[in-house]
Structure 1
C-alpha cells in the first residue's frame, strides 16, 4: 500500500510539467508591430486576441474548442 501511494504521488509531479508549456505559449504574445513598435488601443487588443486564439492548444498539441478555448484566451489576454 505504501508503494502505491508513493507511486501515485510521484506520478503527479511528473505529469504537472506537461501543463505549463501551454500557458507559456500565451505569454509569448506581445502587441508589437512588424517594425518593433508597440501597438496601442484596438490594434493591440485585436492582435493579442488573434495570437492567443492561435496558441490555444492542449498539452498534446491539439486545438482547443468551446469553453476550454474561451477560458484559455481570457487568461492569455489578462496576462
Structure 2
C-alpha cells in the first residue's frame, strides 16, 4: 500500500514539473496552427521577462546575466 501511495505521489510531482514548460502546456491544451504559434510566442516572451527579473534579483550582470537568461528561457520553453 505504501509503495502504491509513493508511486502516485511521485507521478503527480513529475507531472506538475513537466507541465511548467511552454511546449508541454501547449501540447496539454491541444493547440495547433495559429493558436499554438500565438500561445508559444506569448509564453516565451513572458518566460524571458521572468528570467530577466530573476537575474536582476540575483544581481547578475553582463555575461552572467545573459547566460542565465538564455538557459532559463530555454528551460521554460521546454527545448
- Could you state the TM-score of these two structures normalised by the residue count of structure 2? 0.42
When you count helix as a share of all residues, which structure comes out higher?
Answer: 2
Structure scoring higher RCO (CA < 8 A, sep ≥ 6) equals: 2
Q: Which has the larger radius of gyration?
A: 1
- Could you state the TM-score of these two structures normalised by the residue count of structure 1? 0.42
